[in-house]
Amino acid sequence: MDAKSKRFTEPRSPKRVAVIVETDDSWGRGVVGGIVDYMRVHGPWMLLVDPRDRQGRPQLPCGWKGDGIIVRLYNRTQAEQIRATGLPVVNFERILPAEPWMEHVFTDEIGRAKMAFEHFRDRGFQRYACFAPPSTRYANTRGERFQATVEEAGYRCDMYKPGYRAGRKMGWVEHLESAGAWIESLVGEDMPVAVFTADAACGRLLTEVCQWTGVRVPDEVAILAGTPDELTCNISSPPLSSINLASQHTGYAAAALLDNLMSGIEPGEEPIYIRPLDVTCRQSTDILAIENTNVVTAVRFIRAHAHQGIQVEDVLREVPLSRRALELQFQDALGRSPAQEIRLARLAKVKELLANPEMSMSKVAEVCGFSNASRLSIMFRKHFGTTPLTYRKNVTNM
């Protein structure tokens, strides 16, 4: 075999990459899936996935020799151990301050907060709260960002403040008593309260608190989790609505950034921010917090039939109002017109169908009442800032 043939047949030596990201939830598994997608095209890589110490804590094994690290940093001790390796590092978590020796790929917290607020606002909520107890699972900024978003819109947001530091061990009963007193202080008025929780674990705890205190979900308290762990959300009672994060995209972006660092390419000066995808609506927020019965009747009719190509005239057959009166009542209750509500409901149906990769774009357009796939794509991009195909790729690769 000559030198030229040998050059093309010899395999490249794989890069050794540690992925210190827990795979116990949907987000972590999605991130690892995105890293694997990148590796398949740009590898070969040899992955060390989710290493832990004897206590089950995420930790790089002593003596491990590699080329780069992708990590979800939780504490200063962990950060110093990783820094001591001298290897290129990409971090996912905002708990520690950003430092120049590592690079960052973060979920867009402003986007997450706005998406949560809009989900509640679209259902007519006027009262808001945030349940984000001190924890080593997430940064304090997650709850603070939701509070700021609510207040910027002119509403009040009650924050849960249990009075203990992150990492303190609390028993289940102590959690229930502390959070239960807070929840009971929120209910009692005529209108239900919308509660954003920092993650799915917090959301599930809050549903248990509500059961323990006799508070009804979603009739008195509607709960939306800030992360999408499918198992936790579905075993909660009632099932939890959640923010759907682009974990696959996050993992792919982190892998691409680490590959550049390992190749000696200088990174950008700012972190990479990944926008959340959408809200998965389950029973915990399946309510219209609207006193106006005409608007409630109209909205329920729209959401049940929007994909059938209905118009405002069809809605008027369901409520005893003139078109002008209905429009005024919609603006007062929801801040939008009946025609806008129809468009939003049709696009929500589009998102639901895009999760099925077997359904063609033309069929999605037909089922949702659009004249063709091009018209659907224009409307979808105008409202969500991305194309239906890009959205489908993100949501079906989770």
* Secondary structure of 190-215 as H, E, C letters: CCCEEEEECCHHHHHHHHHHHHHHCC
Q: What pTM was estimated for this model as a whole?
A: 0.82
Query: Mean pLDDT across the stretch 297-308?
Result: 87
3-107+247-276 shares its CATH topology with 109-245+279-285: yes
Of 75-79, 234-238, 337-341, 352-356, the least confident: 352-356
Average pLDDT value over all residues in the chain: 88
Other Cβ atoms closer than 10 A to 291: 12
Residue 2: per-residue pLDDT:
53
Do you find a cis peptide bond into 218, omega within 30 degrees of 0? yes
Do you find a cis peptide bond into 44, omega within 30 degrees of 0? yes
Specify the higher pLDDT residue, 190 or 328: 328
The answer, yes or no, to whether residue 259 has pLDDT greater than 60, is yes
Q: Topology of domain 293-396, per CATH? A: Arc Repressor Mutant, subunit A (1.10.10)
Residue 352: per-residue pLDDT:
80
The answer, yes or no, to whether residue 318 has pLDDT greater than 50, is yes
Q: What are the structural domain ranges in the chain? A: 3-107+247-276, 109-245+279-285, 293-396
Question: At 43, is the pLDDT very low, low, confident or very high (cuts 50, 70, 90)?
Answer: confident
Residue 245 CB burial class (10 angstroms; 0-12, 13-18, ≥19): buried
Measured over the CA atoms of residue 169, residue 93, residue 352 and residue 394, the dihedral's sign is negative
109-245+279-285 belongs to CATH 1.20.140.10: no
Residue 185's contacts (CB-CB under 8 Å, 6 or more residues apart) are none
Residue 367: per-residue pLDDT:
87
> Which of 156, 157, 124, 155 has its CA nearest to residue 143?
157
CATH of region 3-107+247-276: 3.40.50.2300
pLDDT tens digits, residue range 133-163?
988 888 889 999 999 999 999 999 999 988 7
Query: Mean pLDDT across the stretch 326-345?
Result: 90
Q: ∠181-187-191 over CA atoms, to 5°?
A: 165
